[in-house]
């Protein structure tokens, strides 16, 4: 009977310290790499509290560097500001510590750095997540011109890419000659890229291919190839062949 008060003291202090460590500290865990998505898809920017506290009573704000005001504000148990209906959080998952942002029908203009800011009492934590929106552009086409010193200048160009694709040139032997080329890009009015790669070649090498492909790993996305050929007499152009490789 004498030991009874001591036991209650120990149990109480245990709960007390547990309460404090949960209330005082948490961090937000996001991905270490940028999130890659494709136009029109729905994408989640994953952000989780660690430990997985119940965030229903916290304030959660998501914002981008592009917009001064937040894209979403959750406070007082509800979403109070949502500048774009396509952007939302999973309210039913807050109790499991998820503060992830869902972006529906992704657009190129959604690309950028997103910051998730969580406030609980005195504590404020944030995490940044980069969103990249890929667009596979048009097939390249090759055009031919001559330089002042009588060399052949091949220009491989395509429209509506984002971000800049990888461009690979090969000669008739299949050797990679990309290092001899120069690439330029221009932004169009939709925020997509016109891509142009130029290579100067000697007459004795007369078949070239130009390949454009996304730098993002997505195996089922095709690469785009264009072949330029010139007949042996050097006068007649073989039609340029373009195809999509899967």
Ligand X SMILES: *[C@@H]1O[C@H](CO)[C@@H](O)[C@H](O)[C@H]1NC(C)=O
Rule CB under 6 A: is residue 183 a binding residue for ligand X?
no
Separation of first and last alpha carbons in the chain: 79
- Residues between 141 and 160 with contacts to ligand X, criterion CB under 6 A: 159
* Lateral strand order in the sheet of 152-161: 141-146, 152-161, 193-201, 182-187
Binding window for ligand X (CB under 6 A); candidates: 7-15, 73-81, 109-117, 230-238: 73-81
Rule CB under 6 A: is residue 165 a binding residue for ligand X?
no
Choice between 126 and 159, CB closer to ligand X: 159
Q: How far is the CB of 95 from ligand X (least distance, A)?
A: 6
- Binding residue (CB under 6 A) for ligand X from 13, 17, 81, 164: 81
- 62 within 8 A of 115, measured Cβ to Cβ: yes
Rule CB under 6 A: is residue 195 a binding residue for ligand X?
no
Q: What are phi and psi of 15, to 5 degrees?
A: -65, -40
- Binding residue (CB under 6 A) for ligand X from 34, 91, 96, 104: 96
Rule CB under 6 A: is residue 138 a binding residue for ligand X?
no
Residue 165 tokens read as 């694709």
- DSSP string of 189-225? TTSPEEEEEEEEE-TT--EEEEEEE-SS--TTSPEEE
List the beta bridge partners of residue 140: none
Rule CB under 6 A: is residue 69 a binding residue for ligand X?
yes
- Binding residue (CB under 6 A) for ligand X from 12, 186, 190, 241: 186
**Distance between CA atoms of 125 and 60, rounded to whole angstroms?**
10
Question: What residues contact residue 9 under an 8 Å CB cut-off, 6+ apart?
Answer: none
Binding window for ligand X (CB under 6 A); candidates: 72-80, 120-128, 165-173, 216-224: 72-80
- Binding residue (CB under 6 A) for ligand X from 34, 104, 194, 200: 194
Name the burial class of residue 133, with classes exposed (0-12), middle (13-18) and buried (19+) by CB atoms within 10 angstroms of its CB.
buried
List the beta bridge partners of residue 129: 114
- Binding residue (CB under 6 A) for ligand X from 143, 188, 218, 222: 188
- Binding residue (CB under 6 A) for ligand X from 28, 35, 72, 73: 73
**Distance between CA atoms of 63 and 171, rounded to whole angstroms?**
48
Rule CB under 6 A: is residue 115 a binding residue for ligand X?
no
Q: How far is the CB of 48 from ligand X (least distance, A)?
A: 10
Choice between 8 and 145, CB closer to ligand X: 145
Choice between 70 and 165, CB closer to ligand X: 70
Sign of the CA dihedral running 81, 84, 85, 86: negative
Residues of the shown chain interacting with ligand X in the complex, contacts defined by CB under 6 A? 69-70, 73, 76, 80-81, 93, 95-96, 159, 186, 188, 194
């Amino acid at each position: 009977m004498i030991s009874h008060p001591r036991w209650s003291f120990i149990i109480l202090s245990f709960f007390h310290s547990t309460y404090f460590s949960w209330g005082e500290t948490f961090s937000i865990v996001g991905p270490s790499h940028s999130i890659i998505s494709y136009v029109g898809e729905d994408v989640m920017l994953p952000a989780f509290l660690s430990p997985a506290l119940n965030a229903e009573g916290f304030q959660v704000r998501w914002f981008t560097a592009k917009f001064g005001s937040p894209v979403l504000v959750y406070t007082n148990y509800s979403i109070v500001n949502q500048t774009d209906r396509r952007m939302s959080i999973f309210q039913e998952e807050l109790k499991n510590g998820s503060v992830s942002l869902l972006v529906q029908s992704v657009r190129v203009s959604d690309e950028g750095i997103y910051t998730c800011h969580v406030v609980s009492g005195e504590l404020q934590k944030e995490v940044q997540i980069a969103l990249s929106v890929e667009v596979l552009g048009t097939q390249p086409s090759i055009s031919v011109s001559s330089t002042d010193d009588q060399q052949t200048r091949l220009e491989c160009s395509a429209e509506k890419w984002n971000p800049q694709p990888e461009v690979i040139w090969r000669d008739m032997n299949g050797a990679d000659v990309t290092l001899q080329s120069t690439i330029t890009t221009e932004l169009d009015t939709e925020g997509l890229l016109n891509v142009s790669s130029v290579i100067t070649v000697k007459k004795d090498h007369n078949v070239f291919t130009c390949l454009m492909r996304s730098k993002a790993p997505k195996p089922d996305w095709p690469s785009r190839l264009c072949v330029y050929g010139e007949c042996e007499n050097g006068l007649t152009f073989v039609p340029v062949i373009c195809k999509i490789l899967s």
